[in-house]
Structure 1
Amino acid sequence: MKKLILSSIAGSVILLSCGPKSTAVTGPKYTSSEKLAQGKTIFENSCSRCHKLPEPTKHDNQGWINTLSRMAPKAKLSDEQHQMVYDYLISVNKK
């Protein structure tokens, strides 16, 4: 029984270590107009490939964190691109 438990734990650790190594966006980072413009361009080009672009006012800051955490991997955004899109969206969102 102990071997089964230890094997299960070891297998879980191995599977978790093979997952994506992205850092989650937890709040704003970039405020320069250059980075915000890049975020807008990435948002417009990457997100519109699969669906109509949502209005930045659709979510509050936490809502965008949740949405982008789900969508950024699908759009194959790097951590920096993910952050720039988030920062752009909250910069034009007044919620």
Structure 2
Amino acid sequence: MKEKILGLILVALFIVSCGPKSIAVTGPKYTSSEQINQGKTIFESSCTKCHKLPNPQKHDNQGWIKTLSRMAPKAHLTDDQHQMVYDYLISVNKK
């Protein structure tokens, strides 16, 4: 019985460790034009692999945090790339 409980605990810990990681972006970080331009390039090249580019004004800043936290892992973005895309989007967003 103890072995079964221990086995279930180990399986649960494994499943939890494979879940989504913490949100990499919590607000703006990069402000240089070079990093903003990199964010635009990453946005345009990564996002179009799966769908049409969304309008940067589709979401407000918090909406982009939520959307990118779902999409960045699917696009295999690093934390820095994720941040640069976010910073690009809020730099052109009028909301």
Q: Which TM-score bucket, shorter chain as reference? A: 0.7 to 0.9
Q: 2:66 & 2:85 partners in 1: Cα distance?
A: 13
For these two proteins, the number of residue pairs brought into alignment is: 95
User: Post-superposition shift, 1:41?
Assistant: 0.6
Give the conservation status (yes or no) of the 8 Å contact 2:30–2:87: yes
Q: Percent identity?
A: 75
Question: TM (normalized to structure 2)?
Answer: 0.85
Question: TM (normalized to structure 1)?
Answer: 0.85
| Runs of 4+ residues over 4 Å off in structure 1 | 18-23
Give the conservation status (yes or no) of the 8 Å contact 2:23–2:69: no
> Where do 5+ consecutive residues of structure 1 fail to align?
none
1:1-95 alignment to 2 at 5 Å?
Answer: 1-19=1-19, 24-95=24-95
> Where do 5+ consecutive residues of structure 2 fail to align?
none
Two-structure CA RMSD over aligned residues (Å): 2.0
1:68-95 Cα offsets, whole Å, 9 max, x none, are: 1111111111111111001100111121
